[in-house]
Structure 1
Amino acid sequence: MNESNPHASNPLDDIRAKLLPCIQCGTCTASCPNAGEMDLTPRKMWRLVIMGRLADVMASRTFILCSDCYTCTLRCPRGLPLTEAMEALKGIAFARQEKRHRASRLFYETFMRTVQGRGRLHEMAFMTRYFTAMKSPVAPFRFAPLGMKLMGKGKVELGAGKSEATPLEDLFRKVKQLEEAGDDR
């Protein structure tokens, strides 16, 4: 049920149907390594989803902070697809172009473009693209001390190396075709 129009379709409906068996035991919250950083516990997030409270769900950062570790899914006594539900919430937020989640969306899109173009993550190319997309002149300076430390330990290459065609290109092309066809396999 949509908060403004009870007859309108709610993007949460598919997720809600999968989470209805939730008994609100809190195992997901107790299992989550990121729960301490979340503004809502996973258990509270599921309650909002079940209630169809889209605005409250989208106002939260809980699903963005999910690291896809699957611990909640593995420990759920009802066997609910909790990690997939978090991913679906990210998809809804990104599709709706939620301003609150802009940085996360840009991070994800930039990460995927870098991997697609190079076949692996090249940290320097990724961070350059990400900070350019952020359009924030001060953002790179906040991370400069960490970057220098990582370069000093040889963890980050300065040069971009050469970009060659990768075996991942076929995979990315197939995913794009499936997305355009509306296939959510």
Structure 2
Amino acid sequence: MKTDQTHPAPDEPTLAMDAIRKSLQPCMQCGTCSASCPNAFAMATTPRELWRLLQLGFVDDALAAGSFWMCSSCYTCTLRCPRGLPLTEVMAALRRLAARCHPEKTGDNATFYKTFLDNVRTYGRVQESALMTSYFLTMKSPTLPFAFLPLGLRLLGKGKLHGPSGTQKGRLEGLFNHAATQGDRT
């Protein structure tokens, strides 16, 4: 009698979600992350609420909320977490998971996020004018730049827009390569 049964290996999103839930398991729902987050006001679901959804297994609800797209990766939540949880890394993992599992729902957020990272990879820092030019070209909407025109003019008037600079070009390549291999594991 043969008892050895082959079980299918878990798929990539399942492994990623398991890693996310394991990271959040010690969360005691104190709310420090939400109170510390500079973007919590703009999130449909606060970080604390997001962690609870994930702890309880409501992955689809957490991904549908999309709050992780509003995370600016400032690491304030991670630094202030009394349990020392890697909350900013969880937000990044959720962005990757959403892009893999529901690319049709990520829309403009994922496009901007990818364009932003490509810009930093190319220039070594954010080059605003090159970033927005790439984003507009990627979006293929001839009217989209006009929506940003008032903001762009205000930033230009205050000297906040800078032209491309190649001083740091290529210096972050190792970091991006390392992050790409780490992202493949989560």
Fold agreement, TM-score > 0.5: yes
Q: Equivalent residue for 1:125?
A: 130
| Cα 1:127–1:82 shift into 2, 3 Å | same
How far is the alpha carbon of 1:183 from its aligned partner? 5.3
Query: 74-83 or 113-122: which moved more?
Result: 113-122
The one-letter code matched in structure 2 to 1:36 is: F
Evaluate the alpha carbon distance shift between residue 177 and residue 15 of structure 1 in structure 2; reply closer, same or farther with a 3 A threshold: closer
Partner of 2:91: 86
Give the deviation of 1:143 after TM superposition.
0.7
- CA RMSD in angstroms comes to 2.9
Task: Report the counterpart of residue 58 of structure 1 in structure 2.
Answer: 63
Q: How do residues 2-81 of structure 1 correspond to structure 2 at under 5 angstroms?
A: 10=14, 11-81=16-86
- In the alignment, structure 1 residue 150 sits paired with structure 2 residue 155: yes
Which residue identity does 2:57 align to in structure 1? Answer: G
Flag the structure with more relative contact order, 1 or 2, with Cα contacts below 8 A and sequence separation at least 6: 2
Whole-Å Cα distance in 1 between the matches of residues 69 and 59 of structure 2? 15
TM-score for the superposition, normalised by structure 2 = 0.78
Contact 1:12 1:52 in 2 (8 A): no
Which of the pair is proportionally richer in helix? 2
Aligned-residue identity in percent = 45
For 1:27 and 1:176, locate their aligned partners in 2 and report how far apart those are by CA, in whole Å.
27
Instruction: Give how far 1:28 is off.
Output: 1.7
Q: Which amino acid aligns with 1:16?
A: R
Q: Distance in 2 between matches of 1:73 and 1:160?
A: 32
Name the SS of the counterpart of 1:155 in structure 2: coil
When normalised by structure 1's length, the TM-score is 0.78
2-side partners of 1:177 and 1:59: how far apart? 25
| C-alpha distance in structure 2 between counterparts of 1:70 and 1:119, whole Å | 20
Q: Gaps spanning 5+ residues in structure 1: where?
A: 1-6
SS in 2 for 1:113: helix
Unaligned runs of 5+ in 2: 1-8
- What whole-Å deviation, never above 9, does each CA across 1:106-158 have from its counterpart, x for those lacking one? 1122122223333433222211110111122221101111212222333324x
Structure 1 segment 133-148 matched on structure 2, within 5 A: 133-148=138-153
Moved more, 95-104 or 140-149: 95-104
Distance 2:158 2:30 in 1: 44
Distance of 1:139 and 1:177 partners within structure 2: 30
